Chain A
Amino acid sequence: MKHDYPDRYSGLDSPLHRLDPRSKLFGFTAALLIIVSEPRGELVPFLFYFALIAALLLISRVPVMFILRRCLNASPFILLAALLLPFSSLLSDREAGLTTEVWNFSLSVVLKALAAIILLVLLTSLDKFHRLLKGLRSTGFPAVFTVLAALMYRYIFILNDERLRTQMARLSRTPGRLRRGRFRVIGNQAAVIFLRSWERAHLVHQAMLARGFDGSFPEYGKLVFVPMDIIFCCSLTFLFLLIRIGI
Chain B
Amino acid sequence: MHIADGILAVEIVLVADAASIGALYLFGKKIDTDDIPKMGLMAAALFVASLVYFPVAGTSMHLGLYGLAGILLGWLSFPVVFLALLFQSLLFQHGGLLSTGINALNMGAGALLAYGVWSLKGLPEWLRAFTGGFLGIFFAAILMAGEFHLSGYGKGFFYVLAGYAVVAAIEGGLTVFIIGFLRKVKPAILNN
Contacts and interface: CB of A to CB of B under 8 A. Distances in A.
Interface of A: 5-6, 29, 32-33, 35-37, 40, 70-71, 73-74, 77-78, 80-81, 84-85, 87-89, 91-92, 105, 109, 112-113, 115-117, 120-121, 123-124, 129, 132, 142, 144-145, 147-153, 155-156, 159-160, 162-163, 167, 177-178, 182-184, 186-195, 197-198, 200-202, 204-205, 208, 213-215
Interface in B62-117: 63, 65, 68, 72, 79, 83-84, 86-87, 89-98
Nearest to B89: A120
Contact of B48 (A121, A147, A162, A186): A162
A197 B174 contact: no
Interface of B: 1-7, 10, 13, 24-25, 28, 31, 33-34, 36-45, 47-49, 51-52, 54-55, 63, 65, 68, 72, 79, 83-84, 86-87, 89-98, 148, 152-157, 159-160, 170, 173-178, 180-182, 185-186, 189
Given A109-B7, A191-B181, A152 B38 contact: no
7 tightest A-B CB contacts, nearest first: A88-B154, A187-B177, A151-B40, A112-B6, A116-B5, A88-B156, A197-B45
Given A36-B5, A84-B156, 4 more contacts: A92-B155, A150-B40, A178-B55, A190-B65
Nearest to A201: B41
Contacts of B40: 147-152, 155, 201
20 contacts: A6-B90, A33-B98, A36-B6, A36-B10, A73-B92, A89-B154, A91-B155, A91-B156, A105-B152, A144-B31, A147-B40, A148-B40, A149-B40, A151-B44, A159-B45, A193-B52, A195-B186, A198-B189, A204-B41, A205-B38
Contacts of A178: 54-55
Contact of B6 (A115, A163, A195, A204): A115
Given A151-B37, A187-B174, A117 B153 contact: no
A197 to B, nearest CB: 4
A85 B96 CA distance: 20
A191 B182 contact: yes
Contacts of B4: 74, 77-78, 81, 113, 116-117
A205 B87 CA distance: 22
A191 B96 CA distance: 28
A183 to B, nearest CB: 5
Nearest to A162: B48
